[in-house]
Amino acid sequence: MNRFTRNALQGFTIVELLIVIVVIGILSAATITTYNGVQTSAHNIKIISGVDQFRQATELYKALEGHYPQTTREIDNESIAMACLGTGYPGGFCGKVTGVDTYEDSAFNTELAKAATGSAISVTNLSVGPESFTGAVYGIDVVDSSRSPTGYARTIQYALRGKNTPCKLPGAWIYEVQNNPPVTACEIILESVPAR
């Protein structure tokens, strides 16, 4: 038996197998991390794009009608008067804002349809502290007094995956960050409204 035949019959050593396993593990971890990053980025782009379209629709409505569209809760003089942006949310529910469950509002959607219509921005629910968002919400909410002298404003609010993720829309600012899982809540103040 020559030297080459004997080595061919011995196979891999344990050290060689361990090296192969470690390399496969590293490649798997890198692939999973990249995949999760792509998913997060795609989700955030979808939210930002959808919110921007609805923001433009509310501005167009204001240009046509002279005021922003009102939600049914606003007409009913509720302090927190939010509604989902778009339709098609699971069970019509799109989040919890300032302790109030937020749902689709058919009267609001009919009014906004004068400028544009749209479907649910997302069906993935993201919790940020005591609030949660599936897509985005619109309406009157309590805001920081440095943002509105009355403490109330007409807002658009949404959440993005990742800690301190840039809100990326004109006038949008981060108002809440959660570490685990990492989520960033963003808010656009459209106008100050009287205290409710």
Q: pLDDT tens digits, residue range 11-61?
A: 778 887 778 888 887 777 766 666 666 788 999 999 999 999 999 999 999
In a domain, 2, yes or no: no
Across 73-108, b (16+ Cβ under 10 Å) vs e yields bbeeeeebbbbbbbeebeeeebbbbeebebbbbeeb
Do the domain assignments include residue 16?
Answer: yes
pTM above the 0.85 mark? no
Residue 3 lies in a domain: no
Q: Tell whether 99 is covered by a domain.
A: yes
Which range marks the domain in which residue 16 is found?
A: 10-192
Radius of gyration of the chain (CA): 25
63 belongs to a structural domain? yes
| Cβ atoms of 172 and 188 closer than 8 Å | yes
- Whether 4 maps to a domain, the answer reads no
Count of structural domains, the chain: 1
C-alpha torsion 36→31→33→166, nearest 10: -60
- Assigned domain for 1 exists: no
